[in-house]
A and B are shown apart, each in its own frame.
Chain A
């Protein structure tokens, strides 16, 4: 087992990770924490010292090409400008799609079109993609001949606990792979791969070998990013992956005195680190300072690789001139339009870490302030909105969709009907209940309950089902109608849901993003997925933008300038875009009003 001592001023965090590298490095962390950049910087540092390195992404939304400034494919290619460094993108959605095509292709025209369509939708789920991703790991980790010639293989993603548990369940293998007759599980995408059983077993074994595998947990000094890293750490440690290192990325130290944005950012980071979950606090840790731009290309990656805490930053205050975007709207203008309809659903969607919960809460409060009746349903226990509405006459009701509570209720309900099941079948069922698809379904049920309330008031939601879930429910409903020739026990609010979500007068979807490359491309993918279910987005919200603030801190100012091309690109494509400047007050309670003021923070 390796240990990594705390970073000192003499060695960079990346240098230390490289020096202690095991043959396989897996990077994991919440969206937006900089996994790919850190993974690539470690790869560059290793290659610079003579190791032969392969970097692999299994993220369907990989930005490895952009970070390495190299056109990549699913076969390893040399990275521009560097000897010894190779990289490839193994897109599990592509792998899942070719699996799907290979499976379904021969039956087109043989089975009825509607039958083929139902097969395709079933094979488009999160489970299929997740297992396909593991399949890509296994080909490299479990088969030594596949990585001959490489000293280190770096993955910018890691397997999930759900996948690993499925693969270690003997039932899953004996029932599904060996006999393939007693039913299927989330392992479905591996059907017909019995020959690879040994490979998966070796893969799981290599993952648990601390001499071979290191799990690198990447986080920012942010409460929810730290919580997610802690969850992965505990879950994967339970499955034997105990050689773990924590990387704290993007740590910010203010260099100018009296800049309210800079000091607030520094304070918030320090606060989050003070309350770091115990699972992380005990891990070896390295720290990387906030850089002025996302490290792209060799030059950027070397800067990241050399960054030591507190060093290498531009000095001196910069001009406080703010950028302006004439094509953009403001939150207050957006809310004017929403308020004019008098009722309906507003959903904020976006990847983790973009602040969709704060935006949802701020819209709810502003509508209440304007005298509307509003129901806010949030997944965030810490939004502290209740205290902010004291003093307004309009009514705000609050509810919370807690994914854990919803999944647990669903699990209990299902297991209550499963008494008398053989122990092996029961453990397979229990694992099915932990699949990403199951979580989607459980949250969906809570979601449908809340949406039904929006006929005579506003309902604001910071969560939304995926296009896949919506299509699955739609096709299943059609199926039930046909088969049963009567209505099922499907609640009426579920039946009404999809037509309501597809009605732009009833439902407004706000896509929330940050003005950076990866969050914008991820937001586009969300938009495409929703469009698949016939739901159009209403507006984009570019959140936490430094470009429009008056900060003079050199690092923050430079970051603000780097946002401009991303904001311009969003404005070019979307017809309604609101920009929300970074605010110095934490966006909770009264502080939420700063998000919808449409002017400078603290107004």
Chain B
């Protein structure tokens, strides 16, 4: 089975965030990490609240989080459907740790 990573972003103008109010180097770093994961055959899906709200409603975990914690819970990263513990965008090392068994297979 292929591992799957899903990223639910807060409302953003663009995925790099450069249109946003402050430069967030984390967003670019994270985009690079996602590209790396894809390169290693991990399925990566990324949703922007401002453009694909349907994805947020269709996923029970995300909808529940929005309803109980509010929009401040975003971004949320799911690995094989499970919400990862880290708030914000996880580091590549953290993701590798979680995915290690699958990447290694």
Q: Give residues in A with beta carbon < 8 Å to B.
A: 103-104, 106-107, 110-112, 114-115, 118-119, 121-123, 125, 127, 180-186, 188, 191, 410, 413-414, 417-418, 420-422, 425, 428-429, 432-433, 435, 437-438, 441, 444, 469, 472-473, 476-477, 479, 482-483, 488-490
Given A104-B53, A112-B71, A115-B70: A181 touches B21 (CB 8 Å cut-off):
no
Task: Tell me which of A127, A183, A414 contacts B48 (CB under 8 A).
Answer: A183
Residues in A neighbouring B60, C-beta threshold 8 A? none
Asked, given contacts A104-B53, A414-B18, A483-B88, whether A122 binds B12 with beta carbons under 8 Å apart, the answer is yes
From B36, which residue of chain A is reached at the shortest CB distance?
A: A420
- Given the known interface contacts A182-B34, A183-B31, the answer about A437 and B48 at a Cβ–Cβ threshold of 8 Å is no
Known: A188-B14, A437-B13. A122 touches B22 (CB 8 A): no
* CB atoms of A115 and B71 under 8 A apart: yes
Residues of chain A lying within 8 A (CB to CB) of residue B16: 183, 185, 414, 428-429, 432
- Tell me whether B96 is interfacial, beta carbon within 8 Å: no
User: A444 CB to closest chain B CB, in angstroms?
Assistant: 8
Beyond A123-B50, A417-B28, whether A183 also contacts B15 by CB under 8 A is: yes
Q: A410: which B residues are within 8 A, CB to CB? A: 18, 23
Contact B66 A188 (CB under 8 A): no
> Does the CB pair B45–A188 fall under 8 Å?
no
Whole-angstrom distance between the alpha carbons of A516 and B54 in the complex?
46
CA distance A421 to B25 in the complex (A): 13
Instruction: Report the minimum CB–CB distance from B12 to chain A (whole Å).
Output: 7
Across the interface, which residues of A come within 8 angstroms of B88, CB to CB?
A: 483
The distance from the CB of B28 to the nearest CB of chain A, in whole angstroms, is: 5
Q: Nearest chain A CB to B43's CB is how many angstroms away?
A: 9
Whether a CB of chain A sits under 8 angstroms from the CB of B35 is yes
Nearest-CB distance from A189 to chain B (Å)? 9
- Contact indicator A435/B71 (Cβ below 8 Å): no
User: Which residue among A425, A433, A472 has the maximum number of chain B CB atoms within 10 Å of its CB?
Assistant: A425
Tell me whether A184 and B19 are in contact in the complex, defined as CB-CB below 8 angstroms, given that A112-B66, A112-B70, A115-B66 are known contacts. Answer: no
Contacts of B19 in A (CB 8 A): 125, 127, 186, 432, 435, 437-438, 441
Asked whether any CB of chain A lies closer than 8 Å to the CB of B51, the reply is yes
Please give me the 3 A-B residue pairs with the lowest Cβ-Cβ distance, nearest first: A183-B15, A115-B71, A437-B19
A184-B48, A479-B10 known; A418+B57 contact, CB < 8 A? no
- Shortest CB–CB separation between residue A220 and chain B, in angstroms? 32
Q: Known: A181-B45, A477-B21. Contact between A188 and B51, CB under 8 A?
A: yes
- The reply to whether B50 and A490 contact each other, CB–CB distance below 8 Å, is no
User: B70, A184: Cβ atoms under 8 Å?
Assistant: no
Chain B residues within 8 Å of A191, by CB = 51-52
| Given A115-B66, A125-B19, A184-B12, 14 extra CB contacts under 8 A | A112-B71, A118-B11, A118-B50, A122-B11, A183-B14, A183-B48, A188-B48, A414-B18, A414-B25, A425-B35, A428-B16, A432-B14, A438-B18, A482-B70
A188-B35 contact in complex given A476-B22, A479-B72, C-beta closer than 8 Å: no
Residues on B with C-beta less than 8 A from A490 are 21-22
B44 within 8 A of A: yes
- B13, B25, B48, B51 pick with most chain A CB within 10 angstroms: B13
Contacts of A111 in B (CB 8 A): 53, 56-57, 66, 71
B81 at the A interface (CB under 8 A): no
CB pairs A–B below 8 angstroms (6 shown): A107-B53, A112-B70, A417-B28, A421-B32, A479-B10, A483-B88
Expressed in whole angstroms, the Cα–Cα distance for A488 and B88 within the complex equals 13
Give CA–CA (A181, B38) in the complex, Å: 12
Closest CB-CB distance, A442 to chain B, in whole Å? 10
* Residues of B participating in the A interface, judged by any CB pair closer than 8 Å: 10-16, 18-23, 25, 28-29, 31-32, 34-35, 38, 44-54, 56-57, 66-67, 70-72, 87-88
Output the residue of B21, B22, B31, B44 with the most chain A CB within 10 A.
Answer: B21
CB nearest neighbor in A for B20: A476
Given contacts A115-B71, A122-B13, A425-B35, is CB(A107)–CB(B57) below 8 Å?
yes
Contacts of A418 in B (CB 8 A): 28, 32
A114 pairs with B70, CB closer than 8 A:
yes
Q: Complex: how many Å from CA A414 to CA B67?
A: 34
Q: How far is the CA of A119 from the CA of B12 in the complex (A)?
A: 8
- Which residue on B lies nearest to A114, using beta carbons? B71
| Complex contacts, B11 vs chain A, CB 8 Å | 115, 118-119, 121-122
Query: In angstroms, how far is the closest chain A Cβ from the Cβ of B52?
Result: 7
User: Across the interface, do A429 and B18 meet the contact criterion of CB distance under 8 Å?
Assistant: yes
User: In the assembled complex, how far is the CB of residue A298 from the closest CB belonging to chain B, in whole angstroms?
Assistant: 43
Chain A residues within 8 Å of B34, by CB? 182
Question: Smallest CB–CB gap between A115 and chain B, Å?
Answer: 4
**Cβ–Cβ < 8 Å partners of A433 in chain B:** 18
Beta-carbon contact of B53 and A119 below 8 Å: yes
Output the least CB separation between A104 and chain B (Å). 7
Q: How far is the CA of A114 from the CA of B74 in the complex (A)?
A: 12
Contact of B50 among A188, A425, A441, A469 (CB under 8 A): A188
- Please tell me which one of the listed residues A422, A435, A483 contacts residue B72 in the complex, with CB atoms under 8 A apart: A483
With A121-B11, A186-B14 in contact, do A482 and B72 touch (Cβ < 8 Å)?
A: yes
Residues of A near B54 (CB, < 8 A) are 106-107
Q: B49 to nearest A CB, angstroms?
A: 6
CB proximity of A131 to chain B, nearest CB, Å = 11
Q: Tell me how far the C-beta of B98 lies from the nearest C-beta in chain A, rounded to whole angstroms.
A: 20
Q: How far is the CB of B67 from chain A (nearest CB, A)?
A: 7
CB-based nearest B residue for A474:
B21
Contacting B28 at CB < 8 Å: which of A181, A429, A435, A476? Answer: A429
- How far is A422 from B34 in the complex, measured between Cα atoms in Å? 11
Q: Which residues of B contact A472 (CB under 8 A)?
A: 20-21
Q: For B50, list chain A residues within 8 Å (CB).
A: 118-119, 122-123, 188
With A103-B53, A414-B28, A425-B35 known as contacts, the answer to whether A188 contacts B13 (CB < 8 A) is yes
In whole Å, how far is B81's beta carbon from the nearest beta carbon of chain A?
A: 16
A185 to B51, CA, bound (A): 10
The winner among B48, B56, B70, B71 for most chain A CB atoms within 10 A is B71
State A433–B16 Cα separation when bound (angstroms): 9
Chain B CB within 10 Å, residue with most, of A115, A418, A435: A115
